[in-house]
Amino acid sequence: MDRSAKSQGLAEALTKVPAVTLGFWIIKILCTTLGETAGDAVSMTWLGETTDEAGKAGINGYLAGTAIFGLALVVLAGLQIRAKRFNPWLYWAAIIASTTFGTTLADFCDRSLGIGYVGGSLVLLGCVLISLVAWRLMLGSVSVNTITGPRQEIFYWITITFSQTLGTALGDWAADSGLGYLGGAAVFGAGLLGLALLYWFTSISRVLLFWAAFILTRPLGATVGDFFDKPHDQGGLAVSRPVASAILVVAVVALILLLPQKAGRHPGEAAPKT
């Protein structure tokens, strides 16, 4: 087999999403935190949803923000699906779009539609489970290591979007239930630590643990983001939302540059020897 054929075979064995490493989870948590601050910056600060002028112009800031980020998500996820190989910049941009969309959509449903945190969380949990079940039934596996084609990626991004929205509702629910932002962050951080211990010391399905961790990173980021940008009288640090978002963008970009970014491998391809 010549070199070009070998290269083609290797490309076909790689997935369209990153390898799941510690760096992946660090960047994911920062992206979810950015999704909270950026989503709030648009819907609450720029569109005035939390000001005295909210709604007077006939525009719902949460709904307008959802439309803006929804369009960005459709475009970026579409580009990601059409891409021939894994591109870390495109992938993480789509993740950020999904988490900002999840922030504004959850806020619109919970606050403007009056569904509430409990109702919203239950509905969104159902959506996540339905998406995973449909994915499993139609394509045989929900493992991210099998995402090598458009059909798998469509299910992947649908599931991610539901999970990001669910995570926002869970984070707001925890913070407003008396835990506060730091208390909520501690609870979700402990949950992630528990999942890590299950990963290292049990044989529980890695696919199940991945999706559980993927969902929990979102409320962790939501509570941390709210802690940074909420007013002092609400238990936050009152950092400007645009400023907090800019800092997080710089941090995400730096980590993408500094941490190894490689595609995950199809389960049928043996890992390279080191």
For 4-17, how does the pLDDT look when each residue is reduced to its tens digit (9 = 90+)?
Answer: 444 444 444 578 88
Band of residue 109 on the pLDDT scale cut at 50, 70, 90: confident
Look at residue 137 in the predicted model and tell me its pLDDT. Answer: 95
Mean of the per-residue pLDDT values for the chain? 86
- Look at residue 220 and tell me if it is in a domain: yes
Residue 198 inside a domain? The answer is: yes
Q: Please check whether residue 169 lies inside any domain of the structure.
A: yes
Record the pTM: 0.87
Flag whether pLDDT at 231 surpasses 70. yes
Q: Average pLDDT for residues 121-130, to the nearest whole number? A: 91
Q: What is the pLDDT of residue 85?
A: 87
Cα–Cα distance for residue pair 67/263, rounded to 1 Å? 31
197-226: average pLDDT:
93
pLDDT band at 271 (very low <50, low <70, confident <90, very high): very low
pLDDT score at 255: 96
Whether the per-residue pLDDT at 103 is higher than 60: the answer is yes
pLDDT at 77: 95
* Alpha carbon distance 15, 83 (integer Å): 11
Closest CA to 211 of 221, 199, 203, 200: 199
> What count of residues does the chain have?
274
Q: What is the pLDDT of residue 269?
A: 44
Q: Is residue 122 part of a domain?
A: yes
Predicted confidence at residue 11, as pLDDT, reads 41
> Is the Cβ–Cβ distance between 175 and 184 less than 8 Å?
yes
Q: Which residues pair with 265 in a beta bridge?
A: 14
Answer yes or no: is pLDDT of 1 > 70: no
Instruction: Convert the chain into a string of H (helix), E (strand) and C (coil).
Output: CCHHHHHHHHHHHEEEEECCCHHHHHHHHHHHHHHHHHHHHHHHHHCCCCCCCCCCCCCCHHHHHHHHHHHHHHHHHHHHHHCCCCCHHHHHHHHHHHHHHHHHHHHHHHHHCCCHHHHHHHHHHHHHHHHHHHHHHHHCCCCHHHCCCHHHHHHHHHHHHHHHHHHHHHHHHHHHHHHHHHHHHHHHHHHHHHHHHHHHHCCCCHHHHHHHHHHHHHHHHHHHHHHHHCCHHHCCCCCCHHHHHHHHHHHHHHHHHHCCCCEEECCCCCCCCC
Q: Is residue 85 part of a domain?
A: yes
| pLDDT of 100 higher than 70 | yes
Q: Partners of 18 in the beta sheet?
A: 263
Query: Over the stretch 17-52, which tens digit does the pLDDT of each residue have?
Result: 899 999 999 999 999 999 999 999 998 888 876 655
Is residue 270 situated within a structural domain? Answer: no
Q: Which sign, positive or negative, has the C-alpha torsion 198, 204, 205, 208?
A: negative
Number of domains the chain contains: 1
The boundaries of the domain holding residue 148 are 17-260
Whether 46 maps to a domain, the answer reads yes
Q: Who contacts 128 (Cβ-Cβ below 8 Å, separation ≥6)? A: 159, 162, 163, 166, 215
The pLDDT tens digits of the residues spanning 253-264 come to 999 999 988 888
pLDDT single digits (tens) 60-92? 888 999 999 999 999 999 999 999 889 999 999
Query: Is 195:213 a contact under the CB 8 Å cutoff?
Result: yes
pLDDT of residue 44: 87
Q: Tell me the average pLDDT across 223-247.
A: 90
Q: Give the tens place of pLDDT for each residue, 138-181.
A: 999 999 888 888 999 999 999 999 999 898 888 888 888 888 99
For residue 268, tell me if it sits in a domain.
Answer: no
